[in-house]
Structure 1
């Protein structure tokens, strides 16, 4: 999964802070950088001074540079004629087309020979536009999409809207990204965070990112100016196309603790009361381990359970409880999903990968 950071030369951060952010992000595994070249509050003189150095640093770390582009951008950058080659020479590798680009121009740009990728606005895309791109034989191998972020409180999109637009794009094989805000230092002028989804505005960035991944988003971008080191580390380590749940360990047993470190697949034959891991019993057999009875507690929603030796051939069966169940001496409760994460259980559908993240 290739996640990204965002940098806005000529706005909040000093050039030194922006360069340091690129260094830290690259060390955390980030491979994409988003920037916008037409924010009204930007100091354009500072932007022109800082941009080339930032693009150079991104190239040194082999980062894809995505730039929000409008026709006015050419004047700002001193580009006489709009062409992919001109942006490639600057170090911009993906053009996010904003207002002012017609259908024919999008199709033409998608066929460029310079390897420049074209990025659609996932939040404003329509079925009509996508159908037209198909009919006009656009090159979808060079197209992806990215949702908007929303600086003004109350204007972010809903989960239902994000999922609907993303599914439209995925049907054509278009990978789609979205933004989460930082809770550390927020970009001006409003300083209210830059989320795609409104419900993420005041949530921890890692939880918001894992929610987006659970919803099918392919790439998560930290939108704000200067995220905390902890936010970079957490989002940089996220794996794609799986639901990751933060949980609390309740056992010191090394056999159960080792089992809980794996990535699991939700069984295709979905149970009414729980999410069943497909691989857990086989993994235990490979360990040649024995699960002794321990913490055979009442099982509330979010309890992570492992069947002990009392359940005979079911020993090692790992479940996440979706409907409360009474205590059973044959079932251990070695961990609990954090209460704030229980909402993510609904996205662990049959065949979906899931894993746990434990605070140490």
Structure 2
């Protein structure tokens, strides 16, 4: 996944803090930088002074540079006439067309992009808009989409709204991004209440919020607040976009089992009522030649990660995540427990969906 950070020149951070943030993000695996150039509270003199240095540093770090643009942005940058090439010369590689651009203009720009990608506002997209863009022969190969973030408490999107928009965009092959707030770093002014896309994410750890967005089919994630921590940046840098990732506590001390459980699994197509079953676990177990002795054969609450042991005969190696509480069985080990706050992610491990575990002590 090509995830990223956000920087707002002239708002919260010093130039040194912004340059350090770019360096930390690059080191920890992030590849995108989002910036908005029309926030009313911005100190415009500082923005004008720092913007070129920030864009140059992000370019040197190999980052895609996404910028909201509007007619006001052009005035700010001293651009008298809208030309894509002018933004390219500044170092901006993706233009987020927030408002002030007609559909015919967007379609024309897509056919003549001058090396710049275009980005739609995923939160305000409609079926009518997309149909019109198709009719206008828009080249969607140079277009992706990004949801809004919402500074005011109570104004973020619902999960249902985000999924609905994502599905519409994915039908045209358009990848979709969204924002998660920082909980441990510096929140962006002026409200400092976080900048989530989903309202549910306003109080959530950014790592869990990001994995939730991936589970919902979001293609990339951006940290929206001013100065996230290394921990938050690193979590996005290691995020996998092709699976539901669950944080869990490993209960077994067997290192062979830790390595085995650290693989990526696939939920079986014949969905069980009481558990998520991994379709390849028994085959993998035979391939690595591990014998599972009985261990921790206790009752199985919701979120228990279980492995059938040698007493289950040919079922040895069967991996399940429990959805309905079950009694203890001497043939089944409870190998790990999904963290309680992560149990909501289980609903997204649908038949055929890949999943993996991130273990902690």
Superposed pair shares fold, TM > 0.5:
yes
Equivalent residue number for residue 66 of structure 1:
66
CA contact (8 A) 1:149 1:223 kept: yes
Equivalent residue number for residue 233 of structure 1:
234
CA contact (8 A) 1:4 1:222 kept: yes
Equivalent residue number for residue 158 of structure 2:
158
Equivalent residue number for residue 333 of structure 1:
334
Equivalent residue number for residue 350 of structure 2:
349
Distance of 2:93 and 2:227 partners within structure 1: 23
- The 5 Å alignment of 1:288-307 reads 288-307=289-308
Cα 1:170–1:287 shift into 2, 3 Å: same
Shift of 1:234: 1.0
Q: Secondary structure at the match of 2:67?
A: strand
Equivalent residue number for residue 97 of structure 1:
97
Q: Secondary structure at the match of 1:178?
A: strand
Shift of 1:253: 1.4
**1:178-204, CA deviations, whole angstroms, 9 ceiling, x for partnerless residues?**
000001210000000000000100110
Equivalent residue number for residue 199 of structure 1:
200
Answer yes or no: is 1:271 the counterpart of 2:287.
Answer: no
Answer yes or no: is 1:10 the counterpart of 2:18.
Answer: no
Distance of 2:96 and 2:139 partners within structure 1: 15
Distance of 1:258 and 1:323 partners within structure 2: 26
**1:291-335, CA deviations, whole angstroms, 9 ceiling, x for partnerless residues?**
000000111110000010011111111110011111111100010
Distance of 2:169 and 2:237 partners within structure 1: 24
Distance of 1:353 and 1:58 partners within structure 2: 33
Equivalent residue number for residue 211 of structure 2:
210
CA contact (8 A) 1:290 1:309 kept: yes
Q: Secondary structure at the match of 1:35?
A: strand
Equivalent residue number for residue 222 of structure 2:
221
Which runs of no fewer than 5 residues in structure 2 stay unpaired? none
Distance of 2:282 and 2:274 partners within structure 1: 19
CA RMSD of aligned residues (A): 0.8
CA contact (8 A) 1:255 1:291 kept: no
Distance of 1:126 and 1:113 partners within structure 2: 23
Shift of 1:241: 2.4
Q: Displaced runs of 4+ in structure 1, greater than 2 A?
A: none
Shift of 1:257: 1.5
Shift of 1:255: 2.4
Answer yes or no: is 1:259 the counterpart of 2:260.
Answer: yes
Equivalenced residues, count: 360
Distance of 1:92 and 1:188 partners within structure 2: 24
TM-score with structure 1 setting the length = 0.99
Equivalent residue number for residue 22 of structure 1:
22
Shift of 1:113: 4.1
